[in-house]
């Protein structure tokens, strides 16, 4: 398929024209199409993508996208499949704090940067702590909103580990509101998801105090 063809291709020409949305199916563009799109955006911004300093920029941007959006190539729950049961009866909070969060706002495609605190109360088994950081990356390296990112991390832990409770708190700054629009620098957004026993008032206070350090 030539590079100029849209990534939204007709699924069936026989369907009624009034059902235009249903006729479209998503297909991942080719690398050549992605690089052509970057050249278009450079031109729209006001520069000449043919000049020496920009000639290789489209290829660099596409390679960068492969890193920034690597989460789409991962199945987050698979990261949690290997667990450990030999914990000598440990049944208290497992908490990993200050996990760096790097994501991209799906509304303006601007950076989201901050930290996540992820904790759970094991029922029988625990997971390696590096997997908690990888889980944050797997969901973070996608187009996101912070509220959904928080819920997805908690949901994956709950479904896979089946702990007695999960607590996830994310604090992040959003360049979509610091580099454009209201231009408010230094403002951070805090989101949290508490499940299981952490929904009980006493346990809730306990885990939030631990998250706050």
Q: Which residues are catalytic?
A: 105-108, 146, 174, 176
The 8-class DSSP code of residue 56 comes to T
User: Cβ of 127: how many Cβ atoms within 10 Å?
Assistant: 21
- Which element (helix H / strand E) includes 35? helix 31-45
Dist CA 184 CA 182 (whole Å): 6
Q: Are 193 and 166 in contact (CB under 8 A)?
A: yes
172 CB contacts (<8 Å, ≥6 apart)?
101, 103, 112, 113, 114, 115, 146, 188, 189
- Beta strands at 165-174 and 111-121: parallel, antiparallel or unpaired: antiparallel
Q: Are 204 and 194 in contact (CB under 8 A)?
A: yes
> What sign for the dihedral angle of Cα 145, 161, 85, 210?
positive
């Amino acid at each position: 398929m030539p590079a100029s063809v849209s990534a939204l291709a007709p699924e069936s020409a026989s369907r009624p024209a009034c059902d235009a949305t249903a006729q479209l199916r998503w297909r991942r563009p080719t690398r050549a199409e992605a690089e052509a799109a970057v050249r278009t955006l450079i031109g729209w911004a006001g520069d000449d993508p043919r000049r020496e300093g920009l000639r290789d920029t489209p290829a660099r941007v596409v390679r960068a996208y492969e890193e920034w959006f690597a989460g789409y190539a991962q199945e987050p729950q698979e990261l949690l499949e290997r667990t450990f049961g030999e914990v000598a009866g440990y049944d208290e909070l497992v908490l990993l704090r200050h996990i760096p969060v790097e994501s991209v706002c799906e509304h303006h495609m601007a950076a989201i940067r901050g930290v996540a605190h992820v904790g759970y109360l094991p029922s029988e088994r625990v997971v390696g702590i590096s997997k908690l950081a990888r889980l944050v990356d797997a969901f973070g390296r996608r187009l996101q909103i912070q509220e959904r990112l928080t819920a997805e991390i908690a949901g994956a832990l709950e479904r896979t580990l089946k702990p007695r409770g999960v607590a996830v708190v994310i604090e992040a700054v959003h360049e979509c509101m610091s580099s454009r629009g209201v231009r408010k620098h230094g403002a951070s957004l805090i989101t949290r998801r508490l499940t299981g026993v952490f929904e009980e008032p006493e346990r809730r206070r306990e885990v939030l105090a631990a998250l706050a350090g």
